[in-house]
Amino acid sequence: MLRPMSLAQQWKHIRSELPADWGTVRIALRLADESEAVRAAALLGPLAPGRAGRELHLTSSRHGGRGPAPSAVSRALAKLDSERIRGDLALLGTADVPGTEEPSRRPNLAESWDAALAELPPDWSDVYGEIELTSSDHLDPAALALAPVNPARYGETPGFRFRGARRFGYGAAPEMVRRCFERLDEQGIPGRVRIVHALSDTKPVGTQGPVWYVGGKVV
């Protein structure tokens, strides 16, 4: 007797049947009972699924902008498989990419970080950066992915601020910051990156680095 396909396998099969020029795809995850739908929705939280009773709807975008990447959907469904959540995936529809050229898209977070650093002078040494998220629903998974850069909440905006250091001192190395942003990109968590403050060629004496005061507080 053939074993039923896992959710990750079903997603792989759906992708193999898509037209070559697909840009976005909508799928439905139909679960056996409503209690499993609640668990599945919680585990799929970073993908922002829609829910109607026992059915969850997901959108995936091959080129970014309208939904998580196919690889992020694969990892999320594999997590449901590991939790023994069973169901059936169904294709709801696709949107094709016109022509043969890749459509314009917003840079992902890792690319935005590269672009922000490229605007700094060559001798930059310290930065105070910010990532603004599009939804407060993403705060918890983003905090986990950004843990190596010691993210700090600020104001009412859904997002975090962090310190970076190119050579030494306080703050995460730019390579580590980029890797953390890659993790957010892999999870399909969108946002906006900017550098709030930057210093060049600092030479600490008797300290590990410069101190910024923002809103009367040391950061």
Give the CATH number of domain 109-203; options: 3.10.450, 3.30.70, 3.30.420, 1.10.3470. 3.30.70
Considering only residues 5 and 194, tell me which one the structure prediction assigns the higher pLDDT.
194
Average pLDDT of the chain to the nearest whole number: 83
CB 38 within 8 A of CB 25: no
> Which residues, at least 6 apart from 74, have a Cβ–Cβ distance to it below 8 Å?
8, 11, 12
Q: What is the pLDDT of residue 72?
A: 85
**Roughly what angle, to the nearest 10 degrees, separates helices 70-82 and 34-43?**
130
Between CA 126 and CA 135, with CA 131 as vertex, the angle to 5 degrees is 170
81-101 pLDDT, tens digit each? 898 888 899 998 887 655 444
- Strand segments, DSSP code E, in the chain are 22-31, 50-52, 55-61, 87-96, 124-133, 152-153, 159-165, 191-200, 213-214, 217-218
Rounded distance between C-alpha atoms, residue 137 and residue 11, angstroms: 25
24-49 pLDDT, tens digit each? 888 999 987 778 888 888 888 878 78
Q: Which of 8-17, 95-104, 169-178 has the lowest mean pLDDT?
A: 95-104
Edge-to-edge strand ranges of the sheet holding 22-31: 50-52, 55-61, 22-31, 87-96
Q: Compute the radius of gyration of the chain from its Cα atoms.
A: 21
Rounded distance between C-alpha atoms, residue 197 and residue 17, angstroms: 48
Between CA 176 and CA 67, with CA 69 as vertex, the angle to 5 degrees is 110
Give the CATH number of domain 7-96; options: 3.60.70, 3.40.1350, 3.30.70, 3.20.20. 3.30.70
Residue ranges, comma separated, of all CATH 3.30.70 domains in the chain are 7-96, 109-203
48-70 pLDDT, tens digit each? 788 877 888 888 887 765 678 88
